[in-house]
Amino acid sequence: MRHSEKATMTLTIQVRRGTYYDSVVLMQLQRALLALPGVRDAGVVMGTPANFDLLRQSNLLIDPPRDARAEDLIIALRADSDASAEAALAQIDALLARRSTPTDSEYRPRSIESAARMSPNATWVLVSTPGRYAARVARDALDLAKNVFLFSDNVPLDQEIVLKQIAAQKGLLVMGPDCGTAIISGAALGFANRVRRGNIGIVGAAGTGIQTVAARIHNLGGGISHALGTGSRDLSDAVGAITARQSLALLARDPATDVIVLISKPPSPAIAEMLLRAARAIAKPVVIDFIGYVPEKNRDDNLFFARTLSDAAELAIECVPSFPSVPLFPGTEMKEQREIRKLSGYFRALYSGGTLAYEAQLILRDYLDTIYSNAPLLTTNQLPLTSVSQAHTILDLGADEFTVGRLHPMLDNDLRIRRLHQEARDPEVAIILLDVVLGFGAHPDPARELAPAIADARATRSIEIVAVVIGTDDDPQNASAQIAQLQNAGARVFTDHAAAVRAVGEMIGKKSERIEKIERLEIRDSEIVALIIAPNISLDTPFAAINVGLESFYESLKQQNQDAVHVDWQPPAGGNEKMIALLEKLKRNL
């Protein structure tokens, strides 16, 4: 920005206390403000410290307002003049009011209870409310004997444990919290790709991990029976893998599932052993990718060990008898094999998928000495300031600190585009890597927004941009069309994540012959017992769901012609803590 231009700019900030809007509404408001005359940039976020950092990065803020709280709605504007800023602020109520229920529309229930009356066959409840309310909503669902897909993050660990224990007692399943992806009988929940139905079942503790494996299986010609998410903490010692064990049990007895894939970051040895024993007791092949865990052998009876997500998909396909081989994205895949040229400079990755960010760090350990991250493998590599990259940096922009009161980067490209420009301006940067995750729940056309930003970045100087597209041609966005847009903008596009990261490694580093540390996991046959809590639910009943929270999840279910009811959820007692406490007290009195 030129100084003269800067001098005429005006920065305005408005704080709205105790107002709740879901993050899709915030994004819509932000876009609507940007379209107003004289408004150069706008930020509409909840008042968390991380969001204030982002506003500062975008030159939308100098100092955060004093006493701003995480529950406050923050509207920051950069406008040509005070008059334009004021005119824009005056529009806010009208812009927000557009959202209110139009007349003559179908009734929108305000609680799961009412929704359950309207749709008595619903067996699943999708919960994506803010984390502090999510456990209560999930509990209401369990009380009505519904299974829960708990997308919300920031749910306290003790609440997760209580929910899962109650669910296990009732024979119900709680996927999550922080469960991004699931596929139940062909219905894609949350962020999930449209994949053909088949005989491979997935249990995953990581949303993008499931998406990557499911999309790759589809692209290799295979199909998915069900994909069950556990949430990122399920495999911790504290939770004890309750959901993962239930899920394995479900898939073990599911007649539509012939092969099972289990994906997770490496659990503690105790949990790993528990799961491996449970898997050994299943009379079906189980492909295991404890991402980063290097097994002693590649196969142990019915267990197959994968090293990457791509590898897991391929192993699962190999376990399916008489499988036909199909070409991958004919015409596009060949370009992945382009000659690798050596580059000097730093590497920056802007991930929307946490599991991919994690896998990338693991793969690049073989090529680069130090990689900083906001979610590093080793705490010594913690990025000091998440708003500024240093040396080689891998960012997980879907991590909590970037998403509290803000839309996930799979839905909103704004943050990634801002960051892409920021990295491209850094003269020491030679390669930028982006993942582009497609599917239901994701942005309807990410390449349309990312491609011009990529072209811009490459126009200023020679910089390599690598894009990994996770998706299928059946996805609403169409993977081939997305790949073409990104390639036309000059990006080097991959559909195999591990291959993309290795290519980056080759370009910028040197493969070292590291001695891999072998973590031995011994399973003695005599100890193989079924440590499984089997839910009462059956996966082959027709899918029907109640959605509480993000309306886009409801819309994506309707787009898939699935039976769904959306709850017009609001925080209890309007978020009034005193009233919430009283209501809890009256409920305890039951």
> Strands 73-79 and 39-46, how do they pair?
antiparallel
Query: Which of these segments, 395-403, 426-434, 501-509, 575-583, binds other proteins (CB under 8 A)?
Result: 575-583
- Could you say whether residue 583 binds other proteins (CB under 8 A)? yes
Of the residues 369, 488, 574, 577, which one makes contact with other proteins according to CB under 8 A: 574
Residue 265 has which token pair? 């970051």
Contacts of 488 by beta carbon, 8 Å cutoff, 6+ apart? 451
Report how many helices (DSSP H) and strands (DSSP E) the chain contains, helices first: 19, 22
Q: Which is nearer to other proteins, 63 or 104 (CB)?
A: 104
- Could you say whether residue 297 binds other proteins (CB under 8 A)? no
Q: Which is nearer to other proteins, 268 or 570 (CB)?
A: 570
Q: Which is nearer to other proteins, 256 or 583 (CB)?
A: 583
State the Cα–Cα distance between residues 263 and 358, nearest whole angstrom: 13
Q: Are 45 and 69 in contact (CB under 8 A)?
A: no
Residue 79 has which token pair? 């406008």
Of the residues 1, 62, 283, 586, which one makes contact with other proteins according to CB under 8 A: 586
Separation in Å, CA 586 to CA 134, 234, 265, 554 = 19, 31, 41, 32
Q: Which is nearer to other proteins, 292 or 572 (CB)?
A: 572
Of the residues 51, 93, 104, 364, which one makes contact with other proteins according to CB under 8 A: 104
Q: Which is nearer to other proteins, 379 or 589 (CB)?
A: 589
Query: Taking the complex as a whole, how short is the minimal distance between the CB of residue 79 and other proteins, in angstroms?
Result: 34
The DSSP annotation for 25-39 comes to: HHHHHHHHHHTSTTE
Q: Is the dihedral of CA 418, 555, 187, 264 positive or negative?
A: positive
- Could you say whether residue 111 binds other proteins (CB under 8 A)? yes
CA 362 to chain centre: 19
- CB atoms < 10 A from the CB of 82, how many? 11
Query: Taking the complex as a whole, how short is the minimal distance between the CB of residue 574 and other proteins, in angstroms?
Result: 5
Query: Which of these segments, 356-364, 442-450, 510-518, 577-585, binds other proteins (CB under 8 A)?
Result: 577-585
Residue 563, Cβ density class (10 Å: 0-12 exposed, 13-18 middle, ≥19 buried): middle
Residue 465 has which token pair? 């941009």
544-573 positions binding other proteins, by CB under 8 A: 570, 572-573
Query: Which of these segments, 105-113, 157-165, 245-253, 555-563, binds other proteins (CB under 8 A)?
Result: 105-113
Of the residues 5, 105, 285, 350, which one makes contact with other proteins according to CB under 8 A: 105
Of the residues 109, 201, 229, 231, which one makes contact with other proteins according to CB under 8 A: 109
The single-letter DSSP state of residue 263 is E
Residue with tokens 């390639």: 487
- Could you say whether residue 585 binds other proteins (CB under 8 A)? yes
- Could you say whether residue 121 binds other proteins (CB under 8 A)? no
Query: Which of these segments, 72-80, 104-112, 471-479, 501-509, binds other proteins (CB under 8 A)?
Result: 104-112
Separation in Å, CA 327 to CA 309, 492, 493, 567 = 19, 19, 17, 43
Q: Are 226 and 175 in contact (CB under 8 A)?
A: no
Query: Taking the complex as a whole, how short is the minimal distance between the CB of residue 99 and other proteins, in angstroms?
Result: 16
Query: Taking the complex as a whole, how short is the minimal distance between the CB of residue 572 and other proteins, in angstroms?
Result: 5
Q: How many CA atoms lie within 13 A of 558 on its CB side?
A: 9
Query: Taking the complex as a whole, how short is the minimal distance between the CB of residue 18 and other proteins, in angstroms?
Result: 12
State the Cα–Cα distance between residues 457 and 421, nearest whole angstrom: 6
Start-to-end C-alpha separation, the chain = 62
Of the residues 103, 322, 325, 344, which one makes contact with other proteins according to CB under 8 A: 103
- Could you say whether residue 589 binds other proteins (CB under 8 A)? yes
Query: Which of these segments, 40-48, 87-95, 108-116, 279-287, binds other proteins (CB under 8 A)?
Result: 108-116
CA 74 to chain centre: 24
Q: Are 471 and 439 in contact (CB under 8 A)?
A: yes
Q: Are 14 and 89 in contact (CB under 8 A)?
A: yes
Q: Which is nearer to other proteins, 542 or 574 (CB)?
A: 574
Residue type present at position 217: I
- Could you say whether residue 130 binds other proteins (CB under 8 A)? no
Q: Which is nearer to other proteins, 108 or 458 (CB)?
A: 108
- Could you say whether residue 335 binds other proteins (CB under 8 A)? no
Q: Which is nearer to other proteins, 455 or 583 (CB)?
A: 583
Q: Which is nearer to other proteins, 294 or 573 (CB)?
A: 573
- Furthest-apart CA pair in the chain: how many Å? 78
529-548 positions binding other proteins, by CB under 8 A: none
Q: Which is nearer to other proteins, 22 or 359 (CB)?
A: 22
- Could you say whether residue 582 binds other proteins (CB under 8 A)? yes
Of the residues 76, 114, 165, 376, which one makes contact with other proteins according to CB under 8 A: 114
Query: Taking the complex as a whole, how short is the minimal distance between the CB of residue 152 and other proteins, in angstroms?
Result: 19
- Could you say whether residue 590 binds other proteins (CB under 8 A)? yes
Query: Taking the complex as a whole, how short is the minimal distance between the CB of residue 103 and other proteins, in angstroms?
Result: 5
Q: Is the dihedral of CA 441, 45, 584, 109 positive or negative?
A: negative
Q: Which is nearer to other proteins, 541 or 576 (CB)?
A: 576
- Could you say whether residue 107 binds other proteins (CB under 8 A)? yes
Q: Are 397 and 352 in contact (CB under 8 A)?
A: yes
> Strands 187-190 and 197-204, how do they pair?
unpaired
Query: Which of these segments, 109-117, 178-186, 386-394, 543-551, binds other proteins (CB under 8 A)?
Result: 109-117
Of the residues 238, 388, 518, 579, which one makes contact with other proteins according to CB under 8 A: 579
- Helix spans in 46-205 (H): 49-57, 82-97, 112-118, 131-143, 157-170
- Could you say whether residue 62 binds other proteins (CB under 8 A)? no
The DSSP annotation for 66-101 comes to: TT--TTSEEEEEEESSHHHHHHHHHHHHHHHHTTSP
Q: Which is nearer to other proteins, 103 or 379 (CB)?
A: 103
Contact residues: other proteins, CB under 8 A: 103-107, 109-111, 114, 117, 570, 572-574, 576, 579, 582-583, 585-586, 589-590
